[in-house]
Amino acid sequence: MKFYCSKAMLQHAVQAVQKAIATKTPLPILTGIYLSAANNRLELQTTDYDMAISCSIEANIEQPGKAVVSGRFFQELVRRLPGETVEISSNQEDSTLRISCNSSNFNLLCFPYEEFPVIEKIQTSTNQLTLKDNVLRDIIKKTVFACATDESRPIFTGGLFEAENDSIKMVGTNTHRLALKQDIIAPVELPAKMIIPAKLLNELARSLSSDVPVDVNIYWEKGHVAFEFDDIYLKSRLIEGSFPDYNRVIPAKFDTVVFFDTHAFLDAAERVSLMAKDGDYNIIKFRFEQDMITLSSNNPDVGKASETVAATMQGPGLEIAFNAKYVTDILKNLGSDKATLSLNNPLSPACIRPADSEKYTYVITPVRTS
Amino acid sequence: MKFYCSKAMLQHAVQAVQKAIATKTPLPILTGIYLSAANNRLELQTTDYDMAISCSIEANIEQPGKAVVSGRFFQELVRRLPGETVEISSNQEDSTLRISCNSSNFNLLCFPYEEFPVIEKIQTSTNQLTLKDNVLRDIIKKTVFACATDESRPIFTGGLFEAENDSIKMVGTNTHRLALKQDIIAPVELPAKMIIPAKLLNELARSLSSDVPVDVNIYWEKGHVAFEFDDIYLKSRLIEGSFPDYNRVIPAKFDTVVFFDTHAFLDAAERVSLMAKDGDYNIIKFRFEQDMITLSSNNPDVGKASETVAATMQGPGLEIAFNAKYVTDILKNLGSDKATLSLNNPLSPACIRPADSEKYTYVITPVRTS
C-alpha cells in the first residue's frame, strides 16, 4: 500500500471514526484503525462491536492495500503532523506503516489486517428512508438527554425512532421523565420502528454538523441500523425489546397551565438547585401563584435558597416538587424563549412544552414530599 | 453584619482566595471562606495551613461583622448570582448568612467564625523588598515547572528565591534538570534567600496578571513569606532545609554549541516523543551534525519516529539522549525564538539557553542508552 493524501482530510477522517475505537477490549485489533486504499479513495474504519464507523476520503493511490494501526497513536500523530500532504506506505517485511510528512517519519507497527471485522453494509432496497441531517439532529438532541444512563433496564438506554407516512418521532425516557419530539418529512414507503442506543445517537448528532443541510440515508435490518451521509457510514446494533406506549404517559388534559420565560426560569432553577444538589434527591419545590413562580430548596447541611420568577397562569395555583435536573435539562434543550408548564395536582405528571409548538413534549413525574 | 457590594468585585475576591480553600481536611472550618466587614471594606480569607490568602474589596457596610460559610457553595453561588449588587447579612439567631441579589435569596449555614485561623500578617521593617509583578511572574514561570512533584525530597518541591544587591534569582530543580532565571532590580537593603513551595509560586503567577505592572511587596520571617499586591495578601510557609549549590551544576565550558529555531525544534520533539511516551523513560535520541539535528525515538510496542531540524553548530558532532519532557518543557517556556544547546559529551549535563540572553539557564542531565 502506498498513497498520498491531504493532512486536513486525513484528520477529518480520523476524527469521524475515532468514537468507535475500542478502549477496553480483549481483542487488541479493535483498538486499531483499519485503512484501505483503492480506486483513489482511502477508507478508514473502526469498530467496538456496538458501533462501527467508516469514513472515505480522496487519496492519490500509488499502490492499493490494507493495514490496521494503533488508533490512539495514529490519531495523535495525524493531529500533530506538520505540512499539508501526507505520504503513507506499508512495509510488508517488518509489518509497519510508514507515515511521512515534510521531514517527519513515523513507522507504526501494524496489526494483521485480515483479522479486522470489516463493516458489512446493510443490503436492503425496502428498509430505508432519507432525512435531512438538521431534522435528524434536532429530534435526537431534543430527546436523547432524557434516556437512562444506568444499564439495569437496557431498553431505556436507547431512543425510540418511529417513522410512518409523513411523520417521524423520537422518544427518550428513563421512566421518571420522557421527551417526545415529532417532525414532518416526505412520506416514507415502509414504516420504521427501532430503539437506537443513546451512545450512537449522541455520536450521530455530533457528526451531523454540516452548515448546508445534507441527506442522511437510514437503512435497517433485524438487529442493526446504519446511517450514511457525506463520506461517513455509521452502523450500530439496535436495542432489542418492546418500548412502552409513550402515549399513555402523556396526560390528556390539565387543570393548570403556566406561561413563563424559558431563560429566566432556567437561571432561577439552576441557582436554587445549587442548594439541592448535595441532597439525596436534588429536589426543588415550585409554588405557582397568579403572576409568579416561587422556586425553593432546602439542604439541612448547607442552607436554603428561594427565588421568584414572573409568570402568567390559567387555572388554580398549586405547589409541586421536581428533581431539579429534570427541569433544567428540558429548559436547556427547549429551543424556544417561551415555555408552558401544564399541571394537574402535586402527584400527577406535568408537561413542559415550547409555547409555540405542539411537536415537542416533555413529561416529568413530580417527587412526593412530606 | 450587613453590607452591599458589587457582584463583579465579590466574584473577583472569591476567585482570588479560592485556591487556599482546604478540600481534604479534618477541620471543616478550613473548607470555608471567612468574611469580615468593617470600615467600608469586605475582606475574604481562606487557608489550608500551607497557604493563606486574603482579598479585600470595597463594600457599603451597614453593620460590621464576621462570618464563615462553605467555600464551595459560596463560590458557586456568587458565580451564578443575577444582577449587579449583592446584599449580604448575617442572622445570629439561626447562624445563617443571607445572600440576596434581585429576586434570589440564599441562606447559607455559618461556621463559628471565632474558630477560623485568621492570617497573622508578617510584621517586619527590614525583611522586605518590592518587585514589579511582571518581573516576579517571569522568574516564577521560567523556573517553577522544573521543580519536583514527588514529595520524597521536599526541598525540591519548592523554588529557591534569592535577592542580593541588584540581582534576583529563582531556581527550580528535580535533580535531573534545573532552571535558573536571573533579573536585575532596584538594590535591596537586606539579602533574601528562601525556598518557596511550588504550589504557592504557581498560584502567585496565576494571580499576577495585571495589564499594567504593579508593585509586589514581599515580607519574610522564619518559616514564612508573604506577598502583597493590589487587594491581595498571600502568605505561605517556607520549605526548611538547605538548597544544593546550583552553581556547581552548571558546566563552566562546552565543546559543542548548537543554534536552532525554538519552535521548529519543539514541534519536532513533541512529535517524536509521541512514540516515546509509552516507553519506560520517554527517551528521545538527538544526533547533532554540521547543519542539522536528527531526533528519533523507538518504542518496541508501537513503532519508531524520526525527524530532522535545521541547525548550525560549533564544535564536534555527537549523539545524546534526553527525557523528551525535560526538553519540551524548557522550549515551551524559553520566551525566545532562537535557542542554543551546549554540550560536552553524551554523559555530561547539557545546557539550553535563549540565544539572546545569558540570564536564563537550563541544565539537563542526559540519559545513558546502550
3-state SS assignment for residue B43: strand
Domains detected in chain B:
2-115 (3.10.150.10), 128-247 (3.10.150.10), 251-364 (3.10.150.10)
Residues in chain B within 8 Å Cβ distance of A105:
305-307
Residue A235 has which C-alpha cell? 452502523
pLDDT above 90 for A279: no
Instruction: Give the closest of A270, A274, A307 to B73, CB-based.
Output: A274
Q: Which of A293-302, B66-75, B161-170, B275-284 has the lowest mean pLDDT?
A: B275-284
Are B268 and A104 within 8 A, CB to CB? yes
- Alpha-carbon distance A101 to nearest alpha carbon in chain B (angstroms): 10
Determine the pLDDT at residue B199.
94
Residues in chain B within 8 Å Cβ distance of A302:
70, 73, 108-109
Residue A130 has which C-alpha cell? 432519507
Three-class DSSP labels, chain A = CEEEEEHHHHHHHHHHHHHHCCCCCCCHHHHEEEEEEECCEEEEEEECCCEEEEEEEECEEEECEEEEEEHHHHHHHHHHCCCCEEEEEEECCCCEEEEEECCEEEEEEEECHHHCCCCCCCCCCCCEEEEEHHHHHHHHHCCHHHCCCCCCCHHHHEEEEEEECCEEEEEEECCCEEEEEEEECCCCCCCEEEEEEHHHHHHHHHHCCCCCCCEEEEEEECCEEEEEECCEEEEEECCCCCCCCHHHCCCCCCCEEEEEEHHHHHHHHHHHHHHHCCCCCCEEEEEECCCEEEEEEEECCCEEEEEEEEEEEECCCEEEEEEHHHHHHHHHHCCCCEEEEEECCCCCCEEEEECCCCCEEEEECCCCCC
Instruction: Give the closest of B106, B302, B303 to A275, CB-based.
Output: B106
Proportion of chain B above pLDDT 90, given as a percent: 90
Are B106 and A304 within 8 A, CB to CB? yes
- Is A271 within 8 Å of B80 (Cβ atoms)? yes
Residue A208 has which C-alpha cell? 451531523
Chain A residues 261-320 with CB within 8 Å of chain B = 267-268, 270-272, 274-275, 301-309
pLDDT above 70 for A280: no
Instruction: Give the closest of A73, A82, A305 to B106, CB-based.
Output: A305
pLDDT category at B344 given cuts 50, 70, 90 is: very high
Question: Could you tell me which chain B residue has the CA closest to the CA of A102?
Answer: B307
Determine the pLDDT at residue B295.
97
- Is A47 within 8 Å of A119 (Cβ atoms)? yes
Residues in chain A within 8 Å Cβ distance of B271:
77, 80-82, 104
CA-CA-CA-CA torsion sign (B75, B79, B81, B84): positive
Are A103 and B309 within 8 A, CB to CB? yes
Are A303 and B108 within 8 A, CB to CB? yes
pLDDT above 70 for B329: yes
Are A307 and B107 within 8 A, CB to CB? no
pLDDT above 90 for B27: yes
Q: CA-CA distance, A104 to A77, in Å (whole number)?
A: 10
- Alpha-carbon distance A330 to nearest alpha carbon in chain B (angstroms): 19
Closest CA to B73 of B42, B110, B101: B110
Are A303 and B96 within 8 A, CB to CB? yes
Taking only the tens place, the pLDDT of each residue in A98-134 is 999 999 999 999 999 999 999 999 999 899 999 999 9
pLDDT above 80 for A370: no
| Mean confidence (pLDDT) of chain B | 95
Cell numbers 522568574 correspond to B139
Proportion of chain A above pLDDT 70, given as a percent: 99
Determine the pLDDT at residue A278.
63
Interface test with A, best of B107, B111, B267, B270 (most A CBs within 10 A): B107
Taking only the tens place, the pLDDT of each residue in B211-267 is 889 999 999 999 999 999 999 999 999 999 999 999 999 999 999 999 999 999 999
Closest CA to B276 of B295, B293, B298: B298
- Is B71 within 8 Å of B31 (Cβ atoms)? yes
- B105 part of contact set with chain A, CB < 8 Å: yes
Instruction: Give the closest of B96, B109, B274 to A77, CB-based.
Output: B274
Residue B112 has which C-alpha cell? 463559628
Residues in chain B within 8 Å Cβ distance of A108:
302-303
Are A302 and B270 within 8 A, CB to CB? no
Residues in chain B within 8 Å Cβ distance of A271:
77, 80-82, 104, 106
Residues in chain A within 8 Å Cβ distance of B76:
274
Closest CA to A198 of A148, A138, A260, A244: A148
- A91 part of contact set with chain B, CB < 8 Å: no
Contact residues for B222 (Cβ-Cβ < 8 A; gap 6+): none
pLDDT above 80 for A277: no
Instruction: Give the closest of A80, A271, A303 to B274, CB-based.
Output: A80
